[in-house]
Structure 1
Amino acid sequence: MDNKISNPRKTSDIIKKHQFSFKKSLGQNFLIDENILKKIVSSADLSPYSGVIEIGPGAGALTQFLADEADKVVAFEIDQRLKPILAETLKDKDNVKVYYEDILKADLKKIIEMEFPDNNDIMVVANLPYYVTTPILMKLLTEKLPIRGIVVMIQKEVADRLEAEPCEKSYGSLSIAVQYLSDPKVVMTVPKTVFVPQPNVDSSVIRLNIRKQKKVDVEDEDFFFKVVRASFAQRRKTLMNNLLNNLFTKDKKEALIKALSVINIDPKRRGETLSIEEFAKLSDALIKLR
């Protein structure tokens, strides 16, 4: 018997059966379209040997499809109320383990070592809660985890920011942080109508291939990101004004002008016009002014 819950009726039935109520504070929206679920799984390029980390399985619709394609799925669910639902929807999936804890507090490196010993093909696949998308992505990208990549459903507006290029409206410090560590590509746009309950916005599925080498080399990574954040602090201000207001004191103005001149960056430009390569040059040139 097909135990898949990837349609409106079955999702509704199981919600009613367990008297489950959605918590807006947890950003709970269950996906109820089988074709989209299959496309998400397909985007991850899984094999029978792959390990998968899922975040926020909800009622288990995506988990079921992941379990069919991968060797093992380890899911993280913050809402303990979903235990009986997941126990039912995943009862036939002996290759799934659910941790009922906050992914942001989890020791992912330790759990991966324990759950996926000797597996060098691990993907993160998830329908992320929109309210914590950025912290989750940055955790996954910065903790030096042994993962091949990330395929996630996120708010379309955020996906556009991750993939954005210089001079585009969506381009900002998040674009640079993500592109420094990965190669992001939007896979598809997903309408809000395929969720229960419907969110207020459309979504996108984006794939982030983890870079084996950072996109640019910088002398001091922490300082590089400080320069990036300062440059985008107030989008309408020039690079010079943002750096003086958010990173350096006013007495550094002449030294700052000189440093920018040496690397051929006009101080009147705005942060959103600089490429990640230019930010790397800028960061390395400004280190001595700290």
Structure 2
Amino acid sequence: MDIAKPSKTKELLRRHNLELKKSLGQNFLIDNNILDKIVDLANVNEEDTVIEIGPGIGSLTQKLAEKAAKVVAVEVDQRLEEVLEETLDEYNNIEVVFDDALEVDFDDLVDGEYKIVANLPYYITTPIVMRLLEEGFNVEQIVFMVQREVAERMVADPGGKDYGVLSIGIQFHTTAEILFDVPPDVFIPQPKVHSSVVSLDVLEEAPVEVVSEEFFFKIVNAGFQQRRKTIRNSLSKAANINLSRDLVDEALESVAIDSRRRAEKLSLEQFATLSNKIYELFHK
């Protein structure tokens, strides 16, 4: 059943009396070329187990099942149960789990390593991605369709307006790449923004050495809390760490970072060096 067509998608939604919920970010792909490209660029093969987040009516799920050994589709909207039973009926390697991707333990759903491939609802993009990376799930690769401006933030270099906490979080845990852009007119309903498909290859080790990952991200978050402030002011006034100005000054001078610079000018490596020095001084 080829459902990635405007007429078929509309017919399925009408027949199952489904009204799409804006609050769940439900925008369904209606272009087979885009779907095939996602699966191909994720390098899905007959040895892979794939978890899909938000299968919707199952258009991407079908394509994944044709290439993968097993697909586990995690869907929060139980209203889609009947339509998924219909669209996925001919496949014997798909399991649909009705649960919240922000809470489910992905490692409990499959054995061994797995890939995650999804057309993500935009409203949960950042919390889902960071949860997958921070909680140490057994995922080897993530291929997501996300809002284009979010994709640009993920791969941003220091110095620009797109560079921030998300950039550092993604680049600390993965090698990130924007694979291709997707226009609004290949969805029902059409979103108001362009999308991008992003590949995140999960690193076995972070590219920088930090004494404490938790403390490192506290420093990063504090640095970007007020983007217009200098790194000196941001850190010395951060409520989540309680650092004295003298300690911040000593740390910045010690690692040769100009106290007048803003957080967006600091590289991942500089943040790592700075957080290690502050940690050392803070715990004396």
Question: Given the two structures, how large is their TM-score scaled by the length of structure 1?
Answer: 0.94
Cα deviation for residue 243 of structure 1 reads 0.5
Cα deviation for residue 289 of structure 1 reads 2.3
Cα deviation for residue 194 of structure 1 reads 0.8
What amino acid does structure 2 have at the position aligned with 1:198? Answer: Q
Q: 1-side partners of 2:212 and 2:133: how far apart?
A: 18
Question: Is 1:124 aligned with 2:122?
Answer: no
Partner SS for 1:171: coil
Partner SS for 2:110: helix
Contact kept in structure 1, 2:229 and 2:262, CA below 8 Å: yes
What amino acid does structure 2 have at the position aligned with 1:133? Answer: T
Partner SS for 2:172: helix
Question: Is 1:26 aligned with 2:21?
Answer: no
Correspondence for 2:208:
216
- Structure-2 change in CA distance of 1:258 and 1:71 (3 Å): same
Contact kept in structure 1, 2:247 and 2:278, CA below 8 Å: no
Q: 2-side partners of 1:93 and 1:242: how far apart?
A: 54
Correspondence 1:129-144 to 2 at 5 A: 129-144=121-136
Correspondence 1:161-176 to 2 at 5 A: 161-176=153-168
Correspondence 1:135-214 to 2 at 5 A: 135-214=127-206
Question: Is 1:279 aligned with 2:271?
Answer: yes
What amino acid does structure 1 have at the position aligned with 2:130? Answer: M
Question: Is 1:97 aligned with 2:95?
Answer: yes
Correspondence for 1:116:
none
Correspondence 1:52-63 to 2 at 5 A: 52-63=50-61
Question: What is the percentage of aligned positions where both structures have the same residue?
Answer: 46
- Structure-2 change in CA distance of 1:60 and 1:249 (3 Å): closer
What amino acid does structure 2 have at the position aligned with 1:43? Answer: L
Q: 1-side partners of 2:76 and 2:152: how far apart?
A: 27
Q: 2-side partners of 1:256 and 1:147: how far apart?
A: 37
Partner SS for 1:240: helix
Correspondence 1:234-245 to 2 at 5 A: 234-245=226-237
Cα deviation for residue 255 of structure 1 reads 2.7
Q: Moved runs in structure 1, 4+ residues, more than 4 A? A: 247-250
Partner SS for 2:197: strand
Contact kept in structure 1, 2:72 and 2:96, CA below 8 Å: yes
Cα deviation for residue 143 of structure 1 reads 2.0
Tell me which of 103, 106, 121 is aligned to 2:104. 106
Partner SS for 1:81: helix
Residue-pair matches, total: 281
Q: 1-side partners of 2:148 and 2:29: how far apart?
A: 15
Write the deviation string for residues 70-108 of structure 1: whole angstroms up to 9, x where unpaired: 000000000011011100100001100000111111122
Correspondence for 2:220:
228
Cα deviation for residue 159 of structure 1 reads 0.7
Correspondence for 1:48:
46
Partner SS for 2:139: coil
Q: 1-side partners of 2:282 and 2:41: how far apart?
A: 45
Cα deviation for residue 249 of structure 1 reads 4.8
Contact kept in structure 1, 2:72 and 2:109, CA below 8 Å: no
Cα deviation for residue 19 of structure 1 reads 1.1
Question: Given the two structures, how large is their TM-score scaled by the length of structure 2?
Answer: 0.96
Partner SS for 1:133: helix
Correspondence for 2:75:
77
Question: Is 1:265 aligned with 2:265?
Answer: no
Partner SS for 1:139: helix
Q: 1-side partners of 2:109 and 2:70: how far apart?
A: 13
Cα deviation for residue 68 of structure 1 reads 0.3
